[in-house]
Amino acid sequence: MATQETLEATIRQMVQPGKGILAADESSPTIAKRFAPIGVESTAENHRAYRALLFSAPGIEDFISGVIEFEETLSQSADDGTPLPEVLARRGIVPGIKVDKGKGPLALSPGDLITYGLDGLAERLQQYQQRGARFAKWREVYAIREHNPSPLGISANAEMLARYAAVCQAQGIVPIVEPEVLMDGDHTLARCAKVTEAVQKAIFDALHRHHVALEHIVLKPNMVVAGKGCAEQAGADAVAETTVRVLRRCVPAAVPSINFLSGGLSPMQATANLNAMNAGFPDVPWLLSFSYGRALQQPVLQAWQGKAENVAAAQRALLKRARLNGAAQRGEYRADMESEGE
């Protein structure tokens, strides 16, 4: 299949009404943090058991169209010996892969960060593709402080995302472009909106320079919210209105889907905000959906506790959150749905 046809087939499968993407790409240090509160040791076998639980949860294919995996997961198998990427593919869920190598300080730009991993990316993508991956994800991070992100920080991160996306498309891999303006701090909703707009405008300028086909990307941005330390927190309707206004100013209609990250929001907040966008703004040109990690997995971990006898309950917890976010993608979520079936 030609590269363009491959990209088109993948994006069609990833972008479906009522469905979103599960982010299960936690690095080893991050998954250790997730496991610590439930007393589960962070070993390769426990990572495998947990992700096998997620990927095999009955019914999630009705609400999940793709899963972002960590590199370790591509080589692991379910209890019956089926490779985990194949477990997903057999259910019509597209396997994906996190390809960045983490972040560090941007030289001579205090307070700004940059993500590593472009060296050898094309070769790594070929290997990941052979193991079942059809899309990739790369995250750039922007902290809001008095002088950050700086103009240099914004332009350097945009360049990295665009170079990554171009390499992916050249290999027939759909890129998820993830610019995350962090919730850490006491900044206002308006400050987050201003920074998010500057970040997204720079990214689409860079994508254009690098000849990236916007029809074959997924944008994974933050919702526009006040910092966690801000005294005034906006409700779902205000978050939805502000976020959509920024997107309309920055994101071309050619982009097929915007799958938000949850970024520290609670599972209910993330669902309510997504619903408010879809219920309040049904005529936007993109699918507005989800690509949540913690906001899908937090109830799963609490139900699982690392015990085999809790696997079915943990899978039900995942299905519930996936179903509620599927409803939010259609603008049909209601708060009373949280207690249904309990």
- Measured in degrees and rounded to the nearest 5, phi and psi for residue 225 equal -135, 160
- Measured in degrees and rounded to the nearest 5, phi and psi for residue 264 equal 100, -5
**pLDDT-derived band at 340, boundaries 50, 70, 90:** confident
Angle at 113 (CA atoms; ends 157, 240), nearest 5 degrees: 65
71 counts as catalytic = no
- Classify domain 3-331 by CATH architecture: Alpha-Beta Barrel (3.20)
pLDDT attached to residue 2: 80
pLDDT attached to residue 189: 98
Structure token digits, residue 96? 């994906």
- Measured in degrees and rounded to the nearest 5, phi and psi for residue 41 equal -70, 140
User: Could you read off the pLDDT of 276-298 as tens digits, one per residue?
Assistant: 999 999 999 999 999 999 999 99
pLDDT mean over 133-153: 97
Q: Tell me how far CA of residue 340 lies from CA of 200, 320, 329, in angstroms.
A: 38, 9, 18
DSSP string, 284-339: -SSEEEEEESHHHHHHHHHHHTT-GGGHHHHHHHHHHHHHHHHHHHTT---GGGGG
**pLDDT-derived band at 341, boundaries 50, 70, 90:** low
Nearest C-alpha neighbor of 156 from the set 134, 179, 133, 174: 179
Report how far residue 61's alpha carbon sits from residue 34's, in angstroms, rounded to the nearest whole number. Answer: 24
- Active-site residue identified among 19, 98, 220, 320: 220
* Buried residues in 41-57 as b, exposed as e (16+ CB within 10 A): ebeeeebbbbbbbbbbb
Q: What is the DSSP letter of 62?
A: G
What are 136's strand-pairing partners?
Answer: 97, 175
User: Could you read off the pLDDT of 2-28 as tens digits, one per residue?
Assistant: 899 999 999 999 999 999 999 999 999
pLDDT attached to residue 149: 98
What are 148's strand-pairing partners?
Answer: 145
Residue 84 has pLDDT above 60, yes or no: yes
pLDDT mean over 28-46: 95
Report how far residue 329's alpha carbon sits from residue 290's, in angstroms, rounded to the nearest whole number. Answer: 8
* Buried residues in 294-305 as b, exposed as e (16+ CB within 10 A): bbbbbbbbebbe
- Active-site residue identified among 69, 140, 178, 180: 178
Report how far residue 294's alpha carbon sits from residue 267's, in angstroms, rounded to the nearest whole number. Answer: 8
pLDDT attached to residue 1: 65
220 counts as catalytic = yes
Report how far residue 269's alpha carbon sits from residue 274's, in angstroms, rounded to the nearest whole number. Answer: 9
